Amino acid sequence: MKIQGLIFDLGHTLIELPEDPEALRQEMFAAALRVLHGHGIPVEASAFAGAVERWMDLRYGRWQEDWREYPLVETFALALGELGYGGLPEGRIREVVRAFLAPQEARWQPFPDTFTTLEELRRRNYRLALLTNSGDADHSWRLIDRFGLRRYFDPIVISAAAGWRKPHPDLFLGIAAAWALPPSAVVVVGDLLDADIRGAHLAGMRGIWAAMSSGPGPMPSPNHAQPDAIIRSLSEILTVLSRWEEEA
């Protein structure tokens, strides 16, 4: 079947986040605390970070089992409630979440060949969609619009708005249906084997593992979904697609 559409992940596929995880973590929690303290909520720093991370771990483990998205606003509300600050207005918690995410948002950058690759795919008349797992839809939209990515993709699906996370196959199949294409005509490109590649295969699509953030290395272990192709730079998609066209 001729490939006619590609579904892209966002983070670590189209954009990259320079690594310094502990410094970033501290900056994110400090930013959230400034908002809380500014509203007269005297939560203690280590207790706040511990509660948020416990609830994140609990809910992260849960979505791996049921594939539901658990929004960050709810997670922060649960953590603050545990610390005795329940019942805060949702708008205030959203303000805290936005402050928490702001240091991370500032660090994301496109890969060097993101835009040239998207332009060439569009020139070749491929349909392009964006499907990203995110606990905060506004966060994803800010990144999408910051880099001018909206013009390349239709549809754009964010798990926080959809209510489900990858690898739920309905997310992928919904995009194929919107394009009126069979799953076999669609390829998924993403950096997470158990979300992007597994989801592609559950939906009857091929999956390209975007391994730019993984560095050079062998194929993934048999415990993970096995990609149909591996790329170490985004522009290699064009070579993979050309090879598959020749083999078809």
- Angle, CA 214 vertex, CA 209 and CA 217 arms, to 5°: 90
The pLDDT of residue 217: 57
Q: Residue 89: pLDDT band by 50, 70, 90 thresholds?
A: very high
**Contact in structure between 97 and 77 (CB atoms under 8 Å):** no
Domain ranges of the chain: 5-16+109-247, 21-107
User: Phi/psi at 125 (nearest 5 deg)?
Assistant: 70, 30
List, for residues 114-159, the tens digit of each pLDDT value.
999 999 999 999 999 999 999 999 999 999 999 999 999 999 999 9
> The domain at 5-16+109-247 falls in which architecture?
3-Layer(aba) Sandwich (3.40)
Average pLDDT of the segment spanning 94-122: 97
To the nearest whole percent, how much of the chain has pLDDT over 70?
A: 96
List, for residues 196-236, the tens digit of each pLDDT value.
999 999 999 999 999 997 665 556 666 778 999 999 999 99
Measured in whole angstroms, how far is the alpha carbon of residue 207 from the centre of its chain? 16
Summary mean pLDDT of the chain: 94
DSSP state of 84: T
pTM of the prediction? 0.94
Least confident of 6-10, 41-45, 62-66, 119-123: 62-66
**Contact in structure between 22 and 202 (CB atoms under 8 Å):** no
CA distance 205 to 187: 6
CA distance 167 to 79: 27
List, for residues 30-56, the tens digit of each pLDDT value.
999 999 999 999 999 999 999 999 999
Beta bridge partners of 6: 128, 187
Measured in whole angstroms, how far is the alpha carbon of residue 153 from the centre of its chain? 15
The pLDDT of residue 221: 62
Q: What is the CA radius of gyration of the chain?
A: 19
The pLDDT of residue 219: 60
